[in-house]
Amino acid sequence: MAEFCLLLLPLLLIFISPIFTANAAAAFTLVNRCQETIWPAIYTNAGTAELSSTGFALPAGASETIPAAASWGGSIWARTHCTNDSNGANFRCLTGDCGTGTAECSGKNRTPPATLAEFQADPTASFKDFYDVSLVDGFNVPILVASLGGGGNCGTTGCPADLNADCPSELKMTGDGGEVLGCRSPCSVFGKAEYCCNGSYSSPDACKPNNYSEIFKKQCPQAYSYAFDDAASTFSCIGSVYTITFCPPPNASQVTSNLPGDARNVIRPGDRLNSSSKLVSEGGNFTLGFFTVPQTNLSYLGIWYTSDEQRKVWVANPDSPIAVVDSQTQLAMDETGNLILSSGRNSIRNVTDQVVTNNNTLALLLDSGNFILMDSGSRNRTIWQSFDHPTDTLLPGSFTLSLERAQDSGQLVIRRRGVIYWTSGPWNNQGFPSLPLLNASFNRFIDKVNLTSADDGVYFTFETLGSSLSMLALSPEGQIVDVANSGLIVSPYQEFCYGYEGDNGCASSALPSCRSSRNTFQSKSGSFFGDNGNYDENSNVSLSDCMEKCWNDCNCNGFTVSSNGTGCITWTQKKEFRLDESGQTVKKYVLAAEKSPKGKCFYNEF
């Protein structure tokens, strides 16, 4: 069972960024690095919707991005040596032609030889994509497929070598001038069952690699060289976008194809990120670096939205703050491939502690906000990710949000100091019963939620509408809120759970003798006339601790936290509370006799 937590540090909210599913992120970017125009072609498998285009011209150096549904499956290839009449009825290509007479293939398949990039969505609806590069139908141009921003066993695959230069003479497809246009498959040339893997050779046990497939495999070890070459040639990824590069550099590798030229989002063995340096994800969405909490002057290593440094999404050292940050403070990757946070000769903590058997480890900050440790020598296998490690220490008064098993399904659980505070109810294939707002038609920011199964666990994910940005966070009161969208309260209770029975998911507990289900605390700007309050300056006391203290004290009429966010102030005298209509007075939580209408969802401006 995979679990993610949202931890409240003193004066610091730890946010979780949306985990985009393949529905939200599925797209193919086609890049032409060839010296001449190519005509990419797209064939859609039966049972899935066609993409917006099935064929077009792509000039040298150009790129084109095509969106796709999460369930899309099919193949993409390049057509070469085509006529210029792409708008008429006489369009024809010497390799990869689909026979329609136009640039659009319109459901027609390829004519070999053609190097294929193949994709297929998992039929179990877990949003996993399977993909490969195939030479089974021969070769015409080099191809490299790179997955970006996904999870699971993602990797870069392809055939960056030019097989036309080393194609056996009997397989060569040549033009009128004798130039090699493509390298045909032995099946298409000889038609024998042992090459085509059909007839009596239609099983993996019967159809083995042949002398021609071994030539292909030597040049392009990641690509399919014959029909049953799937053991080492199929890759899978969850929630990724894909870049398909035609004619990549001959020495293109798994790692370099995924990294920007200045490597600003990667840490390699021996690299050091000092206190003045930062990592920025490739698309610029997120930044990783050191930051200081002003009220405490304590520093942390964390990730935040590049556009808003106040919105932190992850902290590496929540229980080990750095008292003094100087030029010796750094995040480094040691010789074992693990990330170590240190200051001078003093190690602050191991950010990762993985068993790595080679020196191919890279740390990469993705555009999803996920900071991953990747084994670049094993299909870019992810061996650690920040999404799975938000913290390993529960601080006083803190809340955690986790996905836990319930009634053969899963439910979201908020715990306060390890004790259940609120539950969403078990997933029912449409949503969580106590989170109606996530699926409500009036939510303008979040389209839907999903419970997604993957090889390494079960994940709660959500999708955003269009280009909107949503960021779910756990507030000091223990609410789930979308702080990127005007503080939309997602959990169906206002500010606190009180322990009485209800349909909002709050856990039940024994009520103090002086409290009833008609009592709540309401946030108001004003002051208790003639009562200066009782101060508890314990820095380990959080807002939720103050609420519990006042709730259980029959003389308590209101509370708040001190100006630095820790410590507690309570008012216990029977004094009049006077509202400040200007709203300039520090807000206090004042005991009210009436609770809000049952089942109401609240929309507050933060």
pLDDT digits (tens, 9 = 90+) for 353-382: 776 655 667 888 887 788 888 776 554 567
Give the count of beta carbons closer than 10 Å to the beta carbon of residue 164: 20
Tokens 């109401």 correspond to 600
Q: In the predicted model, is pLDDT for residue 186 greater than 80?
A: yes
CB 470 within 8 A of CB 462: yes
pLDDT at 258 over 60: no
| pLDDT at residue 283 greater than cutoff 80 | no
Q: Same domain for 379 and 281?
A: yes
How many separate domains does the chain show?
A: 4
Residue appearing with tokens 């319930």: 406
d(CA 388, CA 352): 11
**The pLDDT of residue 566:** 59
* Residue 24's pLDDT band (cuts 50, 70, 90): very low
Same domain, 41 and 166: yes
| E strand or H helix that includes residue 22 | helix 22-25
Q: Please, which pLDDT band fits residue 15 given cuts at 50, 70 and 90? A: very low
Q: Are residues 66 and 201 in the same domain?
A: yes
Using pLDDT thresholds of 50, 70 and 90, give the confidence band for residue 394.
very low
Maximum distance among all Cα pairs of the chain, rounded to whole angstroms: 101
pLDDT range class, residue 118, cuts 50, 70, 90: very high
CA 347, distance to chain mean position in Å, is 30
335 and 467 fall within a common domain: no
Q: 585 and 526 in contact (C-beta within 8 Å)?
A: yes
Q: Give CA–CA dist 521/493, Å, rounded.
A: 12
- Residue 116 DSSP class: E
**Lowest-confidence segment of 110-114, 118-122, 232-236 by average pLDDT:** 232-236
**What would the mean pLDDT of 400-421 be, rounded to a whole number?**
78
**Residue of higher predicted confidence among 595 and 543:** 543
Asked if 363 and 258 touch (Cβ cutoff 8 Å), the reply is no
Distance CA(559)–CA(572), nearest Å, equals 9
Q: In the prediction, which pLDDT does 183 show? A: 95
Domain membership flag for residue 512? no
Q: Which phi-psi region, left, alpha or beta, contains residue 47 (left: φ > 0; alpha: ψ -120 to 50)?
A: left
Asked if 290 contacts 300 with a C-beta cutoff of 8 angstroms, the reply is yes
Strand order in the sheet with 157-159: 63-67, 27-32, 241-246, 143-148, 157-159
Q: Are residues 164 and 276 located together in one domain of the fold?
A: no
Co-location of 475 and 532 in the same domain = no
Structure confidence at residue 444 (pLDDT): 57
**pLDDT exceeds 90 at position 76:** yes
Same-domain pairing of 179 and 137 = yes
- Residue that wins the pLDDT comparison between 439 and 414: 414
Query: Is 80 exceeded by the pLDDT of residue 600?
Result: no
Based on the domain organization, do 76 and 154 belong to the same domain? yes
Question: 205-214: long-range contacts (C-beta < 8 A, 24 or more apart)?
Answer: 210/186, 212/168, 212/171, 212/185, 212/186, 213/186
The residue from 240, 258, 276 where one domain ends is 258
Last residue of a domain, one of 347, 367, 388: 388
- Which of 504, 508, 468, 507 has the alpha carbon at shortest distance from 489? 504
Predicted confidence (pLDDT) at residue 414 exceeds the cutoff of 70? yes
Residues near 155 by beta carbon (within 8 Å), at least 6 away in sequence = 147, 235, 237, 254, 379, 380, 381
User: What are the Cα distances from residue 461, in Å, to 128, 343, 369, 376, 507?
Assistant: 14, 36, 14, 26, 24
Question: Are 535 and 448 contained in the same domain?
Answer: no
Question: What is residue 26's predicted lDDT score, i.e. its pLDDT?
Answer: 61
Residue 499 maps to a domain: no
Q: Which amino acid is at 529?
A: F
Report which listed range, 104-108, 537-541, 592-596, is most confident. 104-108
Q: In this predicted structure, what is the pLDDT of residue 605?
A: 28
pLDDT at site 232: 60
Q: pLDDT confidence of 463, banded at 50, 70, 90? A: low
Q: Is residue 10 part of a domain?
A: no
The tokens of 21 are what? Answer: 């599913």
Q: What is the reported pLDDT for 407?
A: 66
Cα gap 326→292, rounded to integer Å: 12
CATH of the domain at 269: 2.90.10.10
Does residue 492 surpass a pLDDT of 90?
Answer: no
Using DSSP, state whether 49 is helix, strand or coil: coil
The predicted pLDDT at position 453 comes to 63
Instruction: Return all residues near 53 (Cβ < 8 A) that are at least 6 apart.
Output: 42, 66, 104
Counting DSSP H helices and E strands in the chain, the numbers are 6, 42
- The Cα 51–Cα 49 span in angstroms is 7
Tell me the residue range of the domain where 352 lies.
263-388
Across the chain, what does the average pLDDT equal? 76
